[in-house]
Structure 1
């Protein structure tokens, strides 16, 4: 093993294990009800996987690519939908214009 293998690599913002600022925060271990949004995002991810349009590894990678400020602000399933959207755009399944149109449609 070389010296470069044993040197500590910088921690990415999504890698929070042992980070001092999170060590003193109480962990909420209570059960919580999934919202309709949560269930829909999970179902979407399952359908995309069944159709071969997205893997769990792509979901994880997309979540890890979310900028720190957004990563710390977004809920668990908001991170998922952001990753799903980015993956589908990257694969050419959807484009940003389609997303904009759907958002405009939902707002009206």
Structure 2
């Protein structure tokens, strides 16, 4: 059986060294990304295949320059824009609003 040519994102089988098994705390924004992915799928805005496609389509340079959750934010936004939940312009406006709130936006209040 012939295998299709591997693309840059096909990392299965690559030597990557040991996987650290120690646990770590997730930042609040990372937890929110997980929640948004679950909610978006439950509401029918996208599938796991759509999320994977957006990750693969972002290109190697963008993929390698982002953290795991930054990639998911990009994929999530791409899928929600494609689903018509919001526009790119609306996303940009909201990002500017959040940026203007400063570094404490989204911090857990005790």
TM-score range, shorter chain: 0.7 to 0.9
- With 80-89 and 49-58 compared, the bigger mean Cα shift is at 49-58
| Bigger Rg, structure 1 or 2 | 1
Higher relative contact order (CA 8 A, sep 6+): 2
User: Which structure features the higher share of helix residues?
Assistant: 1
Contact 2:80 2:86 in 1 (8 A): yes
Q: 1:18 deviation in Å?
A: 2.8
Q: 1:48 deviation in Å?
A: 1.1
Please report the TM-score for the alignment, with normalisation by the length of structure 1. 0.80
RMSD, aligned α-carbons: 1.7
Q: How many residues matched? A: 100
Using a 3 Å threshold, how does the CA distance of structure 1 residues 10 and 36 change in structure 2: closer, same or farther?
A: same
1:18 is aligned to 13
2:20 is aligned to 28
2:74 is aligned to 82
2:96 is aligned to 104
Please report the TM-score for the alignment, with normalisation by the length of structure 2. 0.79
